[in-house]
Amino acid sequence: MLLSMQGISKAFGGVSALKAASLEVEPGEVMALVGQNGAGKSTLIKILTGVYRRDEGSIAFDGRQVDFSMPAEAQTAGIATIYQEINLAPQRSVAENIYLSREPRRFGLLDHAAMRRGAEAVLATFNLSIDVDRPVAHFDAATRQMVAIARAVTQNARLVIMDEPTSSLDEREVGVLFETIRTLKRSGVAVIFIGHRLDELYAICDRVTIMRDGQTVAKSPMADMPKMALVRHMLGKELAAFQAMAPDEDAPERPVRLSVENAGAGVRVRDVSLTVREGEISGLAGLLGSGRTETARLVFGADRMDRGTIRMEGRERRYREPADAIADGIGLVSEDRKIDGIVPDMSIRENMTLALLPKLRKAGIVDRARQDEIVERYIRALGVKCASPDQPIKELSGGNQQKVLLARWLATDPRVLIIDEPTRGIDIGAKSEILKLLRSLADEGLSVLMISSELEELLSAADRVTVLSDGTSVATLPRKDLSEAALLAAMAHQAAPSGEQA
Amino acid sequence: MHTLFRPFAIKSSGDLARLGVILALFGLILFGALRYDHFLSPYNILSFLRYNSMFALIALGMAFVIITGGIDLSVGGTAAMASVVAALFSPVHWAAGLLAGMAAGFAVGALNAFIITKMRIQPFIATLATMLAAYGTGLLLADNQSVSVSYDSGFTVIGQDDFLGFPIPAWIALAAYVLGWLVLEKLPAGRHVLAIGDGEATAGLMGLKVERTLAAVYLASGTLAGLAGVILAAQFGAGQPTEGVGWELFAIASVVVGGTLLTGGSGSVGATLAGALLLAMVFNILNFENGLGWISLSAYWQSVIRGAFLLVVVILQAKLMTRRKTA
């Protein structure tokens, strides 16, 4: 056994991120580490590499108990990490990046010739022949990744951790990467491969460790784990805390309000089509990395669309920035409230009316009376629990923060509301309250596009669900066809790789 | 390294900018030589080198700081204070004046390093504060007037005499630049400075000692500013607590004109020297132009021109950067 992590627990400020998680890796094997966002994969890896300290548990590497307190120690011990944002100095040359911090010297001076030779030699083992004097920024993502791997190899790494290594690669580059991984395997180096694209996991990994909610829920040889089972382990099943909130039978087909046809941008969104009708909740499902959030950003004008068309109430639209989409009646409640939603130190009043301020002006000054009226109305309508509208929003619970954000958009009177993971980080009671709220808004005529990772949420709240896989919409399930099995089957589906792929 | 040994191996936009500054420098020299009778006279060349060596020294320290992505606004104040300290110690021995002035600069550099790496304060704010403190300390020590140096100890030799036909300040600057080039291009430490400027977090993950390297860079900048202060006192025969205003801008402009990115991660010692010489040359030519009698530009115009230069180069850099991003 090369690596054995047992009973690892870690809490951040009282919130438990890992609960007795475990991970074992044999020499020369490729271990898939999978799980949803927040399942604890990155925390586990960061504990292994000394970025975080564990609260409990033991780590044995290469037969010895280890306790790294910083990344440099893990590196010295033979554990290299290739981060998703490849960590290289972009303006320095390939050769320098490979040898940075342990440069070959002659008479105390840098030995550029030896550096160049060494870099070329190690890259040659990966069948890569490039000008190692050029800055790494000049090369594509796959080559940069190869340079990072070469750096790991020259450090005599026994274990290489790759965090979503294929997320920015095209198919050919993925093939090159897999060839590199096989080269590593042959020389006895083990790889921990964190990824979400199932086909890739099955193509390259020997075993799989599945995490959910900070725990290791399954370990198995890759071949013994059918795709459906893998997805089920990842998503898990929550207690059915939600009452069925969607209408039982299909409502009469209502007019389409928003439609997206064959949208594409870069490699994350390849070909997505979906429709949202008046007064319905349309779900958008898919595994992590399937392009859900990216699709929402395209519709909202936050990212540039390369291909496809968007129609709003029948008219073709091209949104160059979110302001255009907002003017057209589209709102977006983003997934991460902390990063691009709330302004923590501002009051509930200010957070709620942020998007509305331009309309609230009277002679250039915010019309306080109207602001108060709107804030009062939504606090009452959505049932925001707070001491007063002037309370800083950071003091509210997650569910109540979400309501304030919802109110912010509702106050702009949207016709389409895109909401990304509406119940992320919200306790179970508040979850069903938020979903009920969305349902009653839909009943009043609002069109909701709800992105969700939680099967129960989609099953109980959505009128239809579009499933994305690898940036492509692979299925649209109307209410009557919605079932856990149908959703899982669609999510496990992967677009057939075009051409020969490793 | 590439710019020295393989001048035509242009591999980045930075290389292009560095080539540009060297061409511009030669262009200006050619212009001056053709237009003014005494431009290439030994007197002009020697006094040009003698005076501008001080600026070249602080530009060298600034180059290292800016390559790490930082800034050192305290160099002017440090030089002023160091000139006073050097003058006060000059009666003891010429070497006492020299070492005391450098030690004063080292002290400011150490304070900067501590505030920036340990207290985690932005370099801009940290060195703005130490700049004010350094000026104040200089004025306090000097009792708000210039402090005469001792002419008996031989201290003024440092600023006023020649060695092998060239001014001693020029030799000092040359030695500092050779050393700086050696560190940046030939020693791992220099590569680490560049890598840290490329991204501190990344450099840390690659196992580099980020804090230690940053501290060394601010220490070097402070010490070089102290050395410039020593030369100032020796050259003009007095410690001058009110000198040094705007020197940091001259240094920043020299570095940036020399093709070093203000965002860090790229830069060259040789091109910094070229940048400092280029800016100094502009003022030298203005002086000659004034001498012809056609125009009369006051010294205040120098600041305006310096500012305009800096702005133009920074805008060009920003354009190059965005082009590289979209490319």
pLDDT tens profile A5-38: 999 999 887 778 899 999 999 999 999 999 877 7
Measured between its terminal Cα atoms, the distance across chain A in Å is 28
* Alpha carbon distances (Å) from A269 to A298, A303, A472: 9, 11, 7
Q: Is residue A422 helix, strand or coil?
A: coil
Could you tell me if A51 and A172 lie in one domain? yes
Query: At which of A235, A269, A288 does a domain end?
Result: A235
Cβ within 8 Å, pair B204-A71: yes
How far A475 CA lies from chain B's nearest CA (Å)? Answer: 35
Q: For all residues of chain A together, what is the average pLDDT?
A: 85
Q: Is the pLDDT of residue A414 over 50?
A: yes
Q: Which is more confident, A259 or A167?
A: A259
Q: Would residue A499 count as lying in a domain?
A: no
Cβ within 8 Å, pair A91-B208: no
Calpha distance A409→A407 (Å, rounded): 5
Could you tell me if A85 and A210 lie in one domain? yes
What number of residues does chain A have? 502
Give the number of C-alpha atoms closer than 13 A to the C-alpha of residue A480, restricted to the C-beta side.
Answer: 5
Least confident of A112-126, A235-249, B218-232: A235-249
Residue B263 has which token pair?
């965002």
How far B189 CA lies from chain A's nearest CA (Å)? Answer: 9
Q: Would residue A44 count as lying in a domain?
A: yes
Could you tell me if A297 and A363 lie in one domain? yes
Could you tell me if A371 and A334 lie in one domain? yes
Residues A325-334 pLDDT 10s: 888 889 888 8
Nearest to A71 among B2, B11, B205 (CB): B205
DSSP A218-244: EEEEGGGS-HHHHHHHHH------SPP
Residue A174 has which token pair?
């993925």
- Which residues from B are below 8 Å from A81, CB to CB? 205
Residues A292-322 pLDDT 10s: 989 999 999 888 899 999 999 989 998 888 8
Q: Is the pLDDT of residue A122 over 50?
A: yes
Of A130, A139, A112, A93, the C-alpha closest to B14 is A93
Residue B180 has which token pair?
């700086």
Dihedral class, residue A389 (left if φ above 0, else alpha if ψ from -120 to 50, else beta): alpha
> Is the ipTM of this structure higher than 0.90?
no
Confidence of residue A78 (pLDDT cuts 50, 70, 90): very high
Q: Is the pLDDT of residue A500 over 60?
A: no
Calpha distance A46→A8 (Å, rounded): 12
Number of compact structural domains in chain A: 2
Nearest to A89 among B9, B12, B198 (CB): B198
Q: Does B1 touch chain A (CB under 8 A)?
A: yes
Residue A341 has a pLDDT of 72
Of B148, B132, B129, the C-alpha closest to B140 is B132
How far B268 CA lies from chain A's nearest CA (Å)? Answer: 13
Least confident of A353-362, A477-486, B132-141: A353-362
Measured between its terminal Cα atoms, the distance across chain B in Å is 26
Q: Would residue A407 count as lying in a domain?
A: yes
Q: Would residue A154 count as lying in a domain?
A: yes
Nearest to A135 among B12, B192, B206 (CB): B12
Could you tell me if A20 and A145 lie in one domain? yes
Calpha distance B121→B129 (Å, rounded): 11
Confidence of residue A252 (pLDDT cuts 50, 70, 90): low
Could you tell me if A155 and A270 lie in one domain? no
Residues 184-243 of B with CB under 8 A from A: 185-188, 191-192, 194-195, 198-199, 201-208
Can you list the residues of chain B whose pLDDT is less than 70?
1-14, 320-327
How far B277 CA lies from chain A's nearest CA (Å)? Answer: 26
Q: Would residue A313 count as lying in a domain?
A: yes
- Which residues from B are below 8 Å from A89, CB to CB? 194-195, 198-199, 202-203, 206, 265
* Percent of residues, chain A, with pLDDT higher than 90: 35
Residue B324 has a pLDDT of 52
Q: Is residue B134 helix, strand or coil?
A: helix
Query: At which of A175, A200, A235 does a domain end?
Result: A235
How far B227 CA lies from chain A's nearest CA (Å)? Answer: 26
Q: Would residue A385 count as lying in a domain?
A: yes
Could you tell me if A368 and A412 lie in one domain? yes
Contact present, A469 and A491 (Cβ < 8 Å): yes
Domain that holds residue A329: 256-492
Q: Would residue A250 count as lying in a domain?
A: no
Could you tell me if A379 and A297 lie in one domain? yes
Q: Which residues contact B172 (CB under 8 A, 6 or more apart)?
A: B53, B57, B158, B227, B231
Q: Which amino acid is at A131?
A: D
* Alpha carbon distances (Å) from B99 to B89, B92, B139, B151: 9, 11, 20, 17
Calpha distance A464→A70 (Å, rounded): 48
Q: Is the pLDDT of residue A81 over 60?
A: yes
Q: Is residue A421 helix, strand or coil?
A: coil
Residue A497 has a pLDDT of 40
| Type and span of the H or E element at B268 | none
Q: Would residue A247 count as lying in a domain?
A: no
Residues of A with CB under 8 A from a CB of B: 71-72, 75-76, 81, 83, 87-92, 96, 100-101, 103, 105, 108-110, 112, 133-135, 137-138, 151
User: For A265-273, what is the mean pLDDT?
Assistant: 89
Cβ within 8 Å, pair B191-A100: yes
How far B3 CA lies from chain A's nearest CA (Å)? Answer: 13
Least confident of A74-83, A383-392, A436-445, B296-305: B296-305
Could you tell me if A300 and A424 lie in one domain? yes
Confidence of residue A337 (pLDDT cuts 50, 70, 90): low
Could you tell me if A229 and A281 lie in one domain? no
Cβ within 8 Å, pair B194-A112: no
Q: Is residue A137 helix, strand or coil?
A: helix
Cβ within 8 Å, pair A134-B14: no
Residue A16 has a pLDDT of 80
Calpha distance B267→B254 (Å, rounded): 12
Q: Is residue A207 helix, strand or coil?
A: strand
Residue A345 has which token pair?
């130190």
Could you tell me if A273 and A205 lie in one domain? no
Could you tell me if A342 and A372 lie in one domain? yes
Calpha distance B84→B73 (Å, rounded): 19
Name the pairing type of β-strands A109-110 and A105-106. antiparallel
Calpha distance A130→B52 (Å, rounded): 43
Q: Partners of A25 in the beta sheet?
A: A3
Helical ranges in A32-93 per DSSP H: 41-48, 71-77
Query: At which of A235, A265, A289 does a domain end?
Result: A235
* Alpha carbon distances (Å) from B38 to B25, B284, B296: 18, 12, 19
Name the pairing type of β-strands A281-286 and A447-451. parallel
Rounded to 5 degrees, φ, ψ at A385 are: -90, 110
Residues A428-473 pLDDT 10s: 667 777 888 888 889 888 999 999 888 888 888 899 999 998 889 9
CATH number at residue A486: 3.40.50.300
Q: Which amino acid is at A373?
A: E
Dihedral class, residue A190 (left if φ above 0, else alpha if ψ from -120 to 50, else beta): beta
Name the pairing type of β-strands A30-35 and A207-212. parallel
